[in-house]
Amino acid sequence: MDSNQVKILLEKYWQGETSVVEESRLKAYFRSDDVAEELEQYRALFQFFDAEALIKFHPVLKTPTRKSNTVRILSSAWVRGAAAAVILALGVYFFMIPGQENIDMRDVTYIDTYESPELAYEEAKKALFYLSGKMNKGVSTAANSLDKMKTLDEIVNAN
């Protein structure tokens, strides 16, 4: 598209008279490398539109600081280290008691983030939903790509 055509389209665009197709031609033009110098100033606008359209909804598990005082109290590495030491030490202590060898060492890393079960519940729930989202993503991707791996459905239905 030559720059005169673009200028006409742009004029239409400012007036709010362009069709979706014309707008995508404009976007394509501003994506290209040879934008006329006088039109260069508008490039950022169309780039902005392109970029914004790529934003995805993927809620990450937020730091619990907004909800929980526990975390704030334990925020310094020192204090956390101390807490870890005590709990880890306890873990080791119990681990060494004969007859308890089968204790799950994983327990030693379970220093509760939340003091209240309500907050823990909310967080655990959030984690389940997050997990569910990823599982479903996997299923749809598998369906799309005819992945040879076991899909979730197979696993689930096998159970």
Partner 1 sequence: MKTRLLIAAVLAVFVTTLVSAQSNALDKFFTSYMDDPSFTVVTISPKMFQMISKLDMEDMEPEVKDLLNNIKGLRILAREDYDGRQLYNEASSKINANEYDELLRVRDKDENVRIFVKAQGDVINELLLIVGGASEFVMLDLTGSIDLKTVGKLGGALDVPGIKHLEKMDEKH
Partner 2 sequence: MSLQTFNNQVLPLRDKLYRFSLRIVGNTQDAEDVVQEVMVRVWKKKEDWKQWSNIEAMCMTITRNLSIDKKRNKHTRVTDMPDHYDEPSGDATPDEVTASNDLMSQIRAMMDELPEKQRSIIQLRDIEGYAYKEIAEILEIPLNQVKINLHRARLFLKEKIVKAKSYGF
Report the distance separating Cα 108 and Cα 95, nearest Å: 10
Angle at 142 between CA 141 and CA 145, to 5 degrees: 80
153 Cβ partners below 8 Å, 6+ apart? Answer: 139
Report the distance separating Cα 119 and Cα 109, nearest Å: 19
Where do contacts with partner 2 occur on this chain (CB under 8 A)? 13-17, 20, 23-24, 41-45, 47-49, 51-57, 59, 62, 66, 136
Rounding to the nearest 10 degrees, give the CA dihedral for residues 145, 146, 149, 155: 110
Residue 15 interacts, among partner 2, partner 1, none and using kind-specific CB cut-offs from 5 to 8 Å, with partner 2
Scanning the structure block, which residue is given the tokens 């598209």? 1
Q: Which of 9, 35, 39, 108 binds partner 1 (CB under 8 A)?
A: 108
Q: Of 7-15, 16-24, 45-53, 125-133, which segment contacts partner 1 by CB under 8 A?
A: 125-133
Q: Which of 14, 55, 56, 98 binds partner 1 (CB under 8 A)?
A: 56
Which residues contact partner 1 (rule: CB under 8 A)?
A: 56, 58-64, 75, 77-82, 84-86, 88-89, 91-92, 95, 104-114, 117-118, 120-139, 141-142, 149-152, 155-156, 158-159
